[in-house]
Structures are given as structure tokens and as C-alpha cells.
Amino acid sequence: MNGYLGVDVGSVSTNIVFMDEGGVVFEAIYLRTLGQPIATVQKGLRELGGRLPAGTKIKGVGATGSGRNLIGVIIGADAVKNEITSHAVATSQVVPGVQTILEIGGQDSKIIILRNGVVSDFAMNTVCAAGTGSFLDQQAARLNISIEEFGEIALRAASPVRIAGRCAVFAESDMIHKQQMGCSLADILAGLCEALVRNYLNNVGKGKEILAPVVFQGGVAANVGMIRAFEKELGLPVKVPPYFNVMGAVGAALLSREAVARKGPSCFKGFRVSEMDFRTGSFECSGCSNLCEVIEIKEEGDTIARWGDRCGKWSSVVRREEKIS
């Protein structure tokens, strides 16, 4: 079987998908990044390599997510693209005619508006991460419930309490206040979902025209409480696609298919990447008072990439076959 790999290295999770040449997802792996993107991708590839039938040929690899440049050089990606483009490409394929994508991940949330199959507008959260997955995670941990049961509990709410959603600090102190007043856990969690949705629509969705079909994806879309809160606030049905939590990776795989068709054979280094020795090191450049932290990536002892310098003194030393955009 021939197919394409998509790797999405986010702040919280790392997702890898394998799709066949027709764009059908065969395997999807969802792992926590745990602050170690390289080791996590290696682990994921090892797992995926074991799951795929013998003789599978990887025709192209795409990388996305905030760790895309790092992972791109590690695995030899053909396409390295930002999350917005990847998500839009994936969703248009899975839900043809989609006009609005709501995406909430670990550290960022975004809204993508599509018209006639083309991205016409997008926005990402600007200066604050209130209302993203990390905050939900943290609150679930504080209340000693698992994030998986969060949504189910929220659905049981009789009358959701009102919680300030603008700032995570305000939200938390509101929640504690309500909890000490004796409100039920379900009401508090449902109130939190509503607050986050309000915050998202005001802060990220600011003034954008939200038209159906609306698709909700990203890790937080697993939370049925959030889906319900969005539907209530928008007055529109909200669709959660299969593979909602790996859509970025699906998009990256689709983009790699495009890239390979354009530029020829894949640069993928193969599943042996999971057994190779990668080391990253950093040093502070003392060339000027910017004191840039320069990151160096070594594969089996050879430096394959450097970045982090503002002036290009270090990164331009390493010759790269294709400029990473």
C-alpha cells in the first residue's frame, strides 16, 4: 500500500496520521507531547511502523503544528505548513462546503472562515490563552476529575452558573467562589464551558460571520460540554468530524501529497528515524547584546539544522536542501 504521513506537533499533543493515496485515513496516533517533541515523534513513528502492513511505501510526509520546523528536519518532511492552512485543507476534504471552522487546541484557539472552499479570514487568540485546552486540563485536575469525563458531567447541569470567561485568573476565582457557595460540580463545569465559548466568540471570533456548516475540531472538541455550549450560543448545529483531534495532521498529509506532485520524490528519511540518535543543544551567541539562544540539531553527530539567531549568522551556515518556510 502507498500513502502519505502527516505529523502535527502541538504544544500539548503530537498527532501522526497515515492516509492512502485517495486521502482516506488509515491510522491515527494521538500522543501527548510532554515537552519532548522529538522523542514523542520517534515513539509515534515506531508505533505506526508496527501497525502498517509490510511493504507500505511512504510517498510523502507533511509537518505542521508549532513544532513543525523542528520535526520537519528530523523526519525529512516534504511540506512544512502552518496549522491554519493545514486545518483548512483537511476540513474542506472531510466536510465539503464547510464555511466555519472552530478549532481549540492546547495553547491556542483559532477560527477559520471559508467561502467557496477558500480561506477568506482567520483569527487566532492573541495575547491570552484563557479558554484553551490547557486551562480546561488544569481545572479538571484541580477538581480531581479526568478530562475525558469533563464533558459528560457538564451535560448533567440543571442551571449552569455564570463564570467570567475573559481571563483564566478571573475564571478560576469565579469557579472557586461558586464552588464554596455550594453550586454543583455539573453546574460549574457547564458554566465554565459557556464562559469559554463566550470568550472564544468575543476574542477570537470577533465580528466574523459564522455560517453553517460549522465544524468544531481540535482536542477540546472531544468535550461534549463544549459542543453543547457552542450550539446553544450560535443557534446552529455544530459538527465534529471523525479524527477531529488529528485534523492538523490530516491536512499536513494532504499538503505533502500536493508538494510531492509538484517537486518529485519524497525526502522522508524512513521509519528508521525512530531509532536514530537526535540531539539538540543550545548555546547563547555572544556576538551582540541580543544574546540569541541558538538551537542546534544533530543527527548521529552531524549538525543538520540551526536556528534561533536573529541575524542569520548561525542558521545560514548549515546548508539546507529546501528552505524551510
Q: At what angle do helices 83-94 and 247-263 cross, to 10 degrees?
A: 100
CA gap 282, 108 in Å, rounded: 26
Return all residues near 302 (Cβ < 8 A) that are at least 6 apart: none
Return all residues near 240 (Cβ < 8 A) that are at least 6 apart: 215, 216, 217, 221, 227
Residue 22 C-beta: closest distance to other proteins, Å: 23
The verdict on 126 binding other proteins (CB under 8 A) reads yes
Which residues from 201-230 bind other proteins, rule CB under 8 A? Answer: 206-208
Residue number, 68 or 198, with CB nearest to other proteins? 68
Of 20-28, 49-57, 82-90, 241-249, the window that binds other proteins (rule: CB under 8 A) is 82-90
CB 324 within 8 A of CB 80: yes
Q: Grid coordinates standing for 277?
A: 540518535
Coil, strand, or helix at residue 64? strand
Interface residue with other proteins, options 120, 138, 159, 173 (CB under 8 A): 120
The verdict on 36 binding other proteins (CB under 8 A) reads no
Strand partners, 297: 280, 305
The verdict on 288 binding other proteins (CB under 8 A) reads yes
Q: How many residues does the chain have?
A: 325
Interface residue with other proteins, options 301, 312, 319, 321 (CB under 8 A): 312
Residue 82 C-beta: closest distance to other proteins, Å: 4
Residue number, 1 or 311, with CB nearest to other proteins? 311
For the chain, the first-to-last Cα distance in angstroms comes to 30
The verdict on 121 binding other proteins (CB under 8 A) reads yes
Residue 201 C-beta: closest distance to other proteins, Å: 14
Residues found near other proteins in the complex (CB under 8 A) = 66, 81-85, 108, 116, 118-124, 126-127, 206-208, 288-291, 310, 312, 316, 323, 325
